[in-house]
Amino acid sequence: MLFDYTNITSDDVTTIAGRAIDDAEALVAAALSGERTWEGTMSPLNEMVASMTIAGGKSAFLGRAHPDDAVREAATAVDERMQKFASELDFRTDLYQAIKAYAETDEAKSLEGEKARLLEFTLRDFRRAGHELTEDERNELQALKERLIELGIAFERNIDEYRDRIEVTGDQLAGLPESYVEGLKPGDAEGTFQVSLDYPEYFPFMRQAHNRELRQELEFKNYTSSPENKPILEEAVEVRKKIATVFGLPSWAHYGMEVKMAKNPETVEEFYDSLIPGLNRLAESEFAALRTLLATDHPDAELRTWDYWYLDTQQRKNDFGVDPNEVAEYFEMQAVIDGMFDLTGEVFGLEYREIKDNKAWHADVQLFEIIDRESGNGIAHFYADLFPREGKYTHAAAFDLVKGRLLPSGSRDKPVAAILANFTKPTASQPSLLKHDEVLTLFHEFGHILHHCLTTAQLARFSGFDAEWDFVEAPSQIMEHWSWDPAVLSRFAKHYKTGETIPDTLVKQLVAVRNHNEGTFNLRQVFLGKLDMGMHGPDAPVDLDELYERTYPITGFQPHEGTLFYTSFGHLMGGYDAGYYGYLWSKVYGDDMYSVFEEEGVTDPGVGRQYRDEILAVGGTRDATESLEAFLGRKPNNKAFLRHLGLGA
């Protein structure tokens, strides 16, 4: 179900959303007036979930992607309106009573599979909306949840629209390649250049610019972006705490984690506590080497955050012979995409076809059809919007635009998804060349795309990556492994000028550096999770600055003075609240699943088919633990995770 985005206006966006809400109201009315049967009560609600997702893909989604300010503004407004409508449904007493009455019928008690799961989850949603509380408590809860939606929309909009930069001379760009300089906009003063906070400009500068003071200045701007988000986040933390209090729970984490794999914050604390000692041991030697290297140019300087990426890059060059610019010459973006398609096509039984007349929202966007190789049938579509531009979503993420599901007619709605990312744009002299960490990002997000697009779920509620929030990253974590495999890299990593396959020596050097500074990297992940849990756990403070300063030393660094890093930490308002631990948590499962490929062959189609059927296809139709055990043939464990970190048993 593809949509023509080419001439969409702000009025169109508003109309589409308004019409979708009217249609949803009609479906709710049908559920209320229908017989207390599956078809009369539950089926209209399943249809509503599907139709609202489709409408959001034509309207609200464009707030993150459309190049026109007016369209983005309208899309952001309807995003809030649609989220509030969905939230209000959970508080409808008449709807709750209708579904509760259906749940007491003999038909409901005999339901199996997805239908039984949907009824169970719907009743759970109503309970979490306070239908077992007093009317006053439920009204308070509704007001708090609606306010949380408003705060989330504002927080994300501020991040997406924030722009800042430094201006530098040509001499101050020492250390960066000509291709990087060529892509920069001129500064206001003659002979200067702008270095923005966009990923393709920010990270290469932090990794390669020799000028330490300018790295500090650029990091300061990045860590103080969106300062207006501080009061928004402070209020959101308080609102979440109040919601938990309404339910008599000790924290927002206890409320939010009921529907996650970990179930409670104590489990997460135990998870982190089991990792931190080993990570600290790794990081101790890593920091010693970083300090030694820093002292060669700055003998009396303290190791700071703005040194880390630069020194890490120097180590990779000096100790492993890995120059990120040299490596990037073998990763022309379209060749990486083609190689990714070739790999996943072989492993998962797929083919891909680009649709040139894609009617997308911007000329940079590509559209692809995913085809099942065995049947020859097209099964899904996805858009790839991979370059930065003004007002666009500033990170990398996958979005569901249409949910795959079984239609009443017996045919299927084909899934549609989109990747938004911010990779290096082509210049006049060369195509888009990806650093290897950008290749990792592309593979990671494509894991989400496959999870969404290969679904065989019958009901919209469980389609694609609608699984537990702390499992949803696992299919992305496993995808990253293939971008490190020498045999896989040799298939598509070819020099953009000569066509020469990436040399074996360079691949070996690249793979050898895989676990370089892994202790330091993962301690930062622990910090982010602890920061999140500190805001939302049982001991959640009101003073976010104090929490930031207290948790940041987990990284091994002191915080950058005067910065407000958390104001641009989009995960805190983007669904990962009391859930950021899920990145490291799900890495355990991603590593464990990949170990099966390592045992049988990393491109083995038999294992690939099993993974497709037991993980990707089922989505949220059963608990993630059950899916893991079905694929692994055993209970999951952390052995592969620890092995990849170099921590042993």
C-beta separation of 417 from 382 below 8 A: yes
Closest CA to 393 of 576, 530, 570: 570
- Angstrom CA distances, 457 to 256, 401, 402, 615, stand at 25, 16, 13, 12
354 vs 124: CA distance, rounded Å? 41
The angle at the Cα of 120, spanning 117 to 121, to the nearest 5 degrees, equals: 85
Q: How far is CA 586 from the centre of its chain?
A: 12
Place of tokens 């012979």: 321
User: DSSP secondary structure string, 237-286?
Assistant: HHHHHHHHHHTT-S-HHHHHGGGSSS-SHHHHHHHHHHHHHHHHHHHHHH
Place of tokens 């939606």: 149
- What one-character DSSP code corresponds to residue 502? P
- Angstrom CA distances, 69 to 63, 66, 75, 392, 566, stand at 9, 8, 10, 10, 26
Place of tokens 């600055």: 545
DSSP lists the bridge partners of residue 398 as 419
- Helix (DSSP H) and strand (DSSP E) numbers for the chain: 26, 9
C-beta separation of 30 from 93 below 8 A: no
The helix/strand/coil state of 386 is: coil
C-beta separation of 256 from 537 below 8 A: no
Residue 281 corresponds to which tokens in the numbers above? 């041991």
Query: Which residues are CB-neighbours of 179 under 8 A, at least 6 positions away?
Result: 325, 427, 429, 430, 433
Query: Which residues are CB-neighbours of 213 under 8 A, at least 6 positions away?
Result: none
**Does residue 445 have an active-site annotation?**
yes
At residue 404, what is the residue type? G
How many C-beta atoms lie closer than 10 Å to residue 334's C-beta? 13
The bridge status of strand 412-413 relative to strand 397-402 is: unpaired
Element (H, E) at 226: none
Determine which one of 445, 473, 480, 614 is catalytic: 445
- What one-character DSSP code corresponds to residue 424? P
DSSP lists the bridge partners of residue 332 as 433
Query: Which residues are CB-neighbours of 68 under 8 A, at least 6 positions away?
Result: 10
641 vs 647: CA distance, rounded Å? 9
Query: Which residues are CB-neighbours of 601 under 8 A, at least 6 positions away?
Result: 607
Residues identified as active-site: 445
